[in-house]
């Protein structure tokens, strides 16, 4: 038997990806997305991995670090969120962080190998007085040579323009679930509001980071519809974060799911990653929140299915993320590496 050396590996890579389509489509039908979800598991993974290899080096993972620049006290009522004023999660609200602290945190993240820095604020929308300070943070992080991302809730066209001019590369704004299930999750804003902000961000010339959460008690049809909505936007989101719900004590969703003993089927989660990869072949699919609950084997399967981005650093916004040492060791054991320069 031939040893599996580098050459053999490359040949295999070509062979596997040969039949995978290279085109990026925005005209997927619900029936097509449903069919993908219903494929036998290994057939779906084979297709997703083949598409993945056509567009990306399967050994590379993009790494982003998150910082909560304004924690808690949010007027929205998202049923999963630790930061809503409507829930008693015991989280203390804080003011907008000082600019120097944000830049210092970004520099430390860069020195640990992160190429993108994402600043999150518990806002429904930023106020004019806050935008100036956030623009300063963005300028500072941009000057460190990192990609910049922010997630601040709804934006006006003027605000989007100001942020872009300050050097904002990506704006994160998730759809979370299907339009049909959305009112069960959040009542203080509509799906149309979310879509409007996504358009505002694109119109301002920024890249879009938009995905959802699995484990909200949604049906498979909601997962189909969420991915269908993302994959039929005029332009696919450049990054697609797939979060597994982090059940936070004191949120209505954690209470409801614990009462009904519902948890996410990990193979169903991998299917979501795989279908996202096939539908949006050139986008970064991020294995986002929820990794502390996942085994190394499950994460490996997610990477095989097409995930090629993670949040890196011990903390997400208010909940834990795997320790950086553990992530480094996982990537090493898988023969994977953090992407050196963001694409």
Q: Under 8 Å CB-to-CB from 268, ≥6 apart: which residues?
A: 214, 220
Instruction: Write down the residue that tokens 């994402």 correspond to.
Output: 118
* Catalytic site residue from 53, 74, 116, 210: 74
Closer CB to ligand SAM, 122 or 240, in the complex: 122
Stretch that binds ligand SAM, among 106-114, 169-177, 230-238, 264-272 (CB under 6 A): 169-177
Q: Is the dihedral of CA 222, 230, 237, 341 positive or negative?
A: positive
CB of 198 to ligand SAM, least distance (A): 11
Dist. CA 20–CA 2, nearest whole Å: 26
* Catalytic site residue from 53, 116, 194, 209: 209
Closer CB to ligand SAM, 24 or 252, in the complex: 252
Residue 117 DSSP one-character state: E
Q: Does residue 74 have an active-site annotation?
A: yes
Alpha-carbon dihedral of residues 304, 309, 313, 317, nearest 10 degrees? Answer: -120
* Catalytic site residue from 47, 53, 116, 118: 118
Judged by CB under 6 A, which of 50, 84, 174, 229 binds ligand SAM? 174
Encoded one letter per residue, x for contact with ligand SAM by CB under 6 A and - for no contact, window 270-289 reads -------------------x
Binding site for ligand DTB (CB under 6 A): 66, 82, 118, 120, 151, 172, 174, 211, 241, 243, 246, 288-289, 316-319
Judged by CB under 6 A, which of 50, 84, 197, 243 binds ligand SF4? 84
> What values do phi and psi take at 40, rounded to 5?
-55, 145
Judged by CB under 6 A, which of 67, 76, 97, 246 binds ligand SF4? 76
Number of C-alpha atoms within 13 angstroms, CB side, residue 328?
8
Three-state DSSP class for residue 73: coil
Closer CB to ligand DTB, 48 or 246, in the complex: 246
Residue 151 DSSP one-character state: E
Dist. CA 227–CA 232, nearest whole Å: 8
Question: Is 316 a binder of ligand SF4 (CB under 6 A)?
Answer: no
CB 310 within 8 A of CB 63: yes
Q: Which residues partner with 62 through β-bridges?
A: 309
Question: Is 81 a binder of ligand SF4 (CB under 6 A)?
Answer: yes
Closer CB to ligand SAM, 20 or 155, in the complex: 155
Question: Is 118 a binder of ligand SAM (CB under 6 A)?
Answer: no
Neighbours of 112 (CB within 10 A): 14
Q: Does residue 315 have an active-site annotation?
A: no
What, of ligand SF4, ligand SAM, ligand DTB, none, does residue 305 touch, CB below 5 to 8 Å by kind? none
Tokens at residue 341, please? 């320069």
Binding footprint of ligand SF4 on the chain (CB under 6 A): 74, 76, 78, 81, 83-84, 122, 153
Question: Which residues participate in catalysis according to the annotation?
Answer: 74, 78, 81, 118, 149, 209, 286
């Amino acid at each position: 038997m031939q040893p599996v050396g580098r050459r053999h590996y490359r040949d295999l890579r070509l062979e596997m990806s040969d039949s995978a389509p290279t085109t990026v489509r925005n005209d997927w039908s619900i029936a097509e997305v449903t069919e993908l979800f219903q494929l036998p598991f290994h057939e779906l993974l084979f297709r997703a991995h083949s598409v993945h290899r056509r567009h990306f080096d399967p050994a590379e993972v993009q790494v982003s670090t998150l910082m909560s620049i304004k924690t808690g006290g949010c007027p929205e009522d998202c049923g999963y969120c630790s930061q809503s004023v409507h829930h008693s999660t015991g989280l203390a609200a804080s003011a907008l962080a000082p600019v120097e602290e944000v830049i210092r945190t970004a520099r430390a993240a860069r020195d640990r190998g992160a190429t993108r820095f994402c600043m999150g604020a518990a806002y429904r929308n930023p106020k004019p007085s806050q935008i100036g300070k956030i623009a300063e943070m963005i300028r500072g992080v941009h000057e460190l040579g990192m990609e910049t991302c922010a997630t601040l809730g709804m934006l006006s066209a003027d605000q989007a323009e100001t942020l872009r001019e300050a050097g904002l590369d990506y704006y994160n704004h998730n759809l979370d679930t299907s339009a049909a299930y959305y009112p069960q999750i959040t009542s203080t804003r509509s799906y149309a509001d979310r879509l409007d902000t996504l358009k505002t961000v694109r119109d301002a010339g920024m890249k879009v980071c938009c995905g959802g959460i699995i484990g909200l008690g949604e049906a498979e049809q909601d997962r189909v519809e969420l991915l269908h909505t993302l994959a039929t936007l005029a332009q696919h989101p450049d990054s697609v974060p797939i979060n597994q719900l982090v059940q936070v004590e004191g949120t209505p969703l954690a209470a409801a799911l614990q009462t009904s003993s519902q948890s996410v089927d990990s193979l169903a989660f991998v299917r979501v990653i795989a279908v996202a990869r096939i539908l949006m072949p050139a986008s970064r699919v991020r294995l986002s929140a929820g990794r502390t609950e996942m085994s190394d084997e499950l994460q490996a399967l997610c990477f095989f299915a097409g995930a090629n981005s993670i949040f890196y650093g011990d903390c997400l916004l208010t909940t834990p993320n795997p320790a950086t040492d553990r992530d480094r060791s996982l990537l090493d054991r898988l023969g994977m590496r953090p992407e050196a320069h963001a694409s």
